[in-house]
Amino acid sequence: MSSSIPVTTEGYARLQEELKNLVRVERPKVVQDIAEARAHGDLSENAEYDAAKNRQGFVEGRIKELNDKIARAQVINPATIISNKIVFGAKVTLIDVDTDIEVTYQIVGEEEAEIKDGKISITSPVGRALIGHEVDEEVRINVPSGIRVYEITNIEYS
């Protein structure tokens, strides 16, 4: 896994913050929880100990994963992009041609995608379909519910 992963400056900061929290807060707490569980005696029947060890495995795995992602991150600041086409980092406003419902998405990396925040992954079907298009173009997107047609009304980089 040596390929770089695109991430916005905001997403990169969130990855670093999560890593810092895991290393400085969660890891010491888990170590303390394990020590307390050991003090309760027989480890073979100690549910607290098992839970703390499982939590430790999760925390250490996530730390390793975040370190890898941060090391491979290709940080892109959308505010520096000047393009009339949709590329990584773009905030795109679309109108569903059938329903006239307007939606706005930002094209981001997989790690920072969160649909409820209007952030979709560049590798998602919608993200892939939008790349390279311009304002006033219609885009046909194959989604789980069928083919949707969207008109691109705005593209901005901020």
Please tell me the distance from the alpha carbon of residue 134 to that of residue 125, in angstroms, as a whole number. Answer: 17
Say which residue the tokens 């100990």 belong to. Answer: 49
Contact between 15 and 40 (Cβ < 8 Å): no
Kindly list the structural domains of the chain, giving each domain's residue range(s) and its CATH number in brackets, ordered by start.
5-76 (1.10.287.180), 78-156 (3.10.50.30)
Rounded to two decimals, what is the model's pTM? 0.82
Backbone CA torsion sign across 143, 115, 63, 8 = positive
First to last CA, the chain: 30
The residues facing 114 across adjacent strands are 119
Q: Token pair of 54, please? A: 């499982």
Q: Are 152 and 135 in contact (CB under 8 A)?
A: yes
pLDDT tens, N- to C-terminus, the chain (158 residues): 458 999 999 999 999 999 999 999 999 999 999 998 888 777 677 788 889 999 999 999 999 999 999 999 999 999 999 999 999 999 999 999 999 999 999 999 998 999 999 999 999 999 999 999 999 999 999 888 889 999 999 999 98
